[in-house]
């Protein structure tokens, strides 16, 4: 069966520090991968998605970047965090276009 | 901006009553719709889905209705239980690579 791993679960980082959140999927190949951000009490905002190794599409201009170095690995990064980067970050995978998304457990990021 | 929205941000329901959560979408090309449930501090979990060639689909205690004429989607939960308290999101996919989510409805079940 397929599983998605996302870590860490919580993170407190100072303003200006770098960020690296990792997501991996097991039990499937060539998934579509997604990073979403959720502000407190709000909906899910799509940040990045990838349909293959090295392919990244950005939905919202921001202080973040994403990379997909391997088929089942998706990384969210920042060189210098801002206070506004605080939020709940969710990684998701979709087996093919037009299918449901499966989410990781999320990372609660607090920038102080 | 988001192409999928929700009519009400919160819903309070008595335990045992039925719940109805509504969602409006704007993309008439969307052909796949999903309802997710998100408990506090966790990722969204799939509840039920429906394709645009259907207008109703039933699961265990849940029913999704799709009205393509007015671009409206609803989730009905029968005999609401305390464990149903969560945020519910509708999502749409128009067969591209992106799944768009609404803002969510917080459901609170009163004992």
Determine the average pLDDT of the residues in B58-84.
Answer: 96
* CB contact at 8 A, B71 and B55: no
Determine the average pLDDT of the residues in B79-93.
Answer: 94
- Per-residue tens of pLDDT for chain A, all 112 residues: 779 999 999 999 999 999 999 999 998 888 999 999 988 777 888 999 999 999 999 988 778 999 999 999 999 999 999 999 999 999 999 887 667 889 999 999 999 9
Strand partners, B67: B72
> Which residues does chain A have within 8 Å of residue B2's beta carbon, measured at their own beta carbons?
43
Instruction: Flag whether residue A94 sits within 8 Å of chain B, measured between CB atoms.
Output: yes
Q: Give the C-alpha separation, A33 to A72, whole Å.
A: 8
CA angle B83, B88, B93 (to 5 degrees): 140
User: What pLDDT is recorded for position A41?
Assistant: 75
> Which residues does chain A have within 8 Å of residue B101's beta carbon, measured at their own beta carbons?
36, 43-44, 46
Instruction: Flag whether residue A7 sits within 8 Å of chain B, measured between CB atoms.
Output: no
> Which residues does chain A have within 8 Å of residue B44's beta carbon, measured at their own beta carbons?
44, 90, 101, 103
User: What pLDDT is recorded for position B35?
Assistant: 96
Determine the average pLDDT of the residues in B43-71.
Answer: 95
| Band of residue B3 on the pLDDT scale cut at 50, 70, 90 | very low
Query: How distant is the Cα of A16 from the closest Cα of chain B, in angstroms?
Result: 26
DSSP string, A82-108: -GGG-EEEEEEEESSTTS--EE---EE
Instruction: Flag whether residue A95 sits within 8 Å of chain B, measured between CB atoms.
Output: no
User: What pLDDT is recorded for position B95?
Assistant: 67
Name the residue with tokens 């409206």. B72
Instruction: Flag whether residue A74 sits within 8 Å of chain B, measured between CB atoms.
Output: no
* CB contact at 8 A, B61 and B35: no
Least confident of A3-12, B36-45, B68-77, B93-102: B93-102
User: What pLDDT is recorded for position A14?
Assistant: 98
CA angle B93, B6, B87 (to 5 degrees): 90
> Phi-psi category of A106—alpha, beta or left, where left has phi over 0 and alpha has psi -120 to 50?
left
What is the chain B residue with the closest CA to A4?
B43
* Residue B95 or B32, more confident: B32
Instruction: Flag whether residue A59 sits within 8 Å of chain B, measured between CB atoms.
Output: yes
Determine the average pLDDT of the residues in B85-108.
Answer: 87
User: What pLDDT is recorded for position A76?
Assistant: 97
Strand partners, B51: B32
> Phi-psi category of A72—alpha, beta or left, where left has phi over 0 and alpha has psi -120 to 50?
alpha
A44, A104, A105: residue with CB nearest B101: A44
What is the chain B residue with the closest CA to A31?
B97
User: What pLDDT is recorded for position B2?
Assistant: 37
Strand partners, A107: A89
Tokens of A52: 């293959």
């Amino acid at each position: 069966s397929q599983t998605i791993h996302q870590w860490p679960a919580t993170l407190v980082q100072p303003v200006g520090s770098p960020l690296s959140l990792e997501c991996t999927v097991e039990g499937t190949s060539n998934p579509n991968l997604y990073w979403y951000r959720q502000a407190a009490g709000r909906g899910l905002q799509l940040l990045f998605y990838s349909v293959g190794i090295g392919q990244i599409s950005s939905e919202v201009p921001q202080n973040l970047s994403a990379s997909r170095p391997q088929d089942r690995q998706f990384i969210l990064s920042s060189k210098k965090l801002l206070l506004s980067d605080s939020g709940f970050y969710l990684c998701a995978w979709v087996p093919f276009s037009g299918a449901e998304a499966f989410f990781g457990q999320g990372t609660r990021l607090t920038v102080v | 901006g988001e192409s999928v929205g929700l009519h009400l941000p919160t819903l309070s329901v008595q335990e045992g009553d039925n719940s109805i959560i509504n969602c409006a979408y704007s993309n008439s090309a969307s052909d796949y719709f999903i309802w997710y449930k998100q408990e506090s501090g966790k990722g969204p979990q799939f509840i039920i889905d429906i394709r645009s060639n259907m207008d109703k689909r039933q699961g265990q205690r849940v029913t999704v209705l799709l009205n393509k004429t007015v671009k409206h989607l609803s989730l009905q939960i029968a005999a609401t239980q305390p464990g149903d308290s969560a945020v519910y999101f509708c999502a749409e996919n128009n067969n591209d690579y992106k799944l768009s989510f609404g803002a969510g409805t917080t459901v609170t079940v009163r004992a």
